[in-house]
């Protein structure tokens, strides 16, 4: 396929870094993202060492800070106007409830609200370039429910439920983005059980090597391009059934409206 310009959020370690290496090794133009300059520098060096290819750029933003996410989105849209693909991969698992400075629950902000804001800023660029979005979700979304009064664990909190909810919201955002006015081709996937820091924070599982997760992301992107898929959720490189909750029209509308209110102060 044609050379892609791809930004992968959370690409300083884990699945994100493995995916960045895989895309670079295949000749694509990679933009690295991380939350610290030192980690970005280390990741870029690791990509060069592994592939012999240097990323075309790097972006710094802590996803617990929505103003930083907004600035990152503006920089991404302006500096890399040829962007073809945004992979929303950055995520956390928080066993104990914590809040970001703006007051949002951390898992909700990092895993859902920040990627929605980022995508909204670069969306017009992606549409103009015939590009697309891939949201990294999880099969754990099947256990989540949509409750507008408990979106951030307001009634009760558990790390697993917060994570599962955020991954449900990722798929709902994918479905919403893929249709209607100003739609951008959007899909989501479960990358498998991968030995990342996130996995070890929430589960007593070994997991596959991160390279397997990077390969899953890369090959899913290739399959989407070959088949023109849109609005799908993938497991093992194939469209899979997502939770009925994710496709509920009333829930989709309510989530979109609530999210819009939360992000209203940004010019998007």
Token pair recorded at residue 213: 């997760």
Give the C-alpha separation, 22 to 49, whole Å.
13
Which residues are registered as beta bridge partners of 59? 33
pLDDT, position 203: 41
pLDDT, position 211: 59
Token pair recorded at residue 183: 């739609």
Q: DSSP letter at 63?
A: T
Give the C-alpha separation, 137 to 191, whole Å.
8
Sign of CA dihedral 121, 179, 170, 237: negative
Q: Which helix (H) or strand (E) holds 31?
A: strand 29-34
Give the C-alpha separation, 268 to 190, whole Å.
28
Q: Which helix (H) or strand (E) holds 8?
A: strand 5-8
| Residue in 75, 71, 91 with CA at minimum distance from that of residue 83 | 75
* 263 close to 116: Cβ distance less than 8 angstroms: yes
Q: How far is CA 231 from CA 23, 70, 79, 127, 218, in A?
A: 22, 25, 28, 15, 18
pLDDT, position 210: 61
pLDDT tens digits, one per residue of 157-191? 999 999 999 999 999 999 999 998 889 999 999 98
Token pair recorded at residue 28: 């694509």
Burial of 167 (C-beta count, 10 Å sphere; 0-12/13-18/19+): buried
Phi, psi of 204 (to 5 degrees): -90, 65
Q: How far is CA 141 from CA 135, 146, 165, in A?
A: 13, 11, 6
pLDDT, position 2: 86
pLDDT, position 267: 78
Give the C-alpha separation, 178 to 29, whole Å.
24
pLDDT, position 214: 85
Give the C-alpha separation, 88 to 135, whole Å.
5
Report the CATH architecture of 5-262.
3-Layer(aba) Sandwich (3.40)
pLDDT tens digits, one per residue of 231-258? 999 999 999 999 999 999 999 999 999 9
> Which stretches of the chain score pLDDT less than 70?
1, 192-211
pLDDT, position 189: 95
Sign of CA dihedral 66, 72, 75, 77: negative
* 217 close to 15: Cβ distance less than 8 angstroms: yes
Token pair recorded at residue 207: 């997991």
Radius of gyration of the chain measured on its C-alpha atoms: 17
């Amino acid at each position: 396929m044609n050379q892609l310009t791809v930004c992968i959020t959370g690409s300083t370690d884990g699945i994100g870094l493995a995916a960045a290496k895989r895309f670079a090794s295949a000749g694509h133009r990679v933009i690295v993202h991380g939350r610290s300059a030192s980690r970005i520098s280390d990741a870029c060096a690791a990509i060069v060492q592994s592939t012999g290819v240097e990323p075309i750029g790097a972006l710094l933003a802590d996803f617990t800070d929505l103003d930083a996410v907004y600035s990152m989105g503006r920089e991404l849209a302006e500096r890399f106007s040829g962007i073809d693909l945004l992979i929303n991969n950055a995520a956390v698992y928080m066993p104990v409830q914590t809040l970001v400075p703006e007051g949002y629950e951390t898992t909700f902000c990092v895993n859902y609200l920040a990627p929605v804001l980022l995508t909204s800023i670069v969306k017009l660029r992606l549409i103009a370039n015939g590009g697309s979005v891939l949201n990294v979700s999880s099969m754990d979304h099947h256990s989540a429910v949509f409750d507008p009064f408990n979106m951030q664990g307001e009634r009760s909190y558990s790390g697993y439920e917060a994570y599962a909810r955020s991954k449900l919201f990722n798929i709902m955002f994918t479905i919403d983005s893929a249709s209607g006015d100003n739609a951008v081709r959007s899909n989501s996937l479960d990358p498998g059980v991968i030995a990342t820091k996130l996995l070890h924070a929430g589960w007593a599982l070994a997991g596959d090597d991160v390279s397997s997760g990077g390969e899953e992301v890369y090959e899913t992107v290739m399959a989407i391009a070959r088949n023109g898929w849109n609005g799908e959720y993938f497991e093992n490189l194939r469209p899979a059934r997502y939770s009925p909750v994710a496709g509920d029209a009333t829930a989709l509308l309510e989530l979109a409206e609530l999210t819009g209110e939360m992000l209203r102060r940004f010019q998007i």
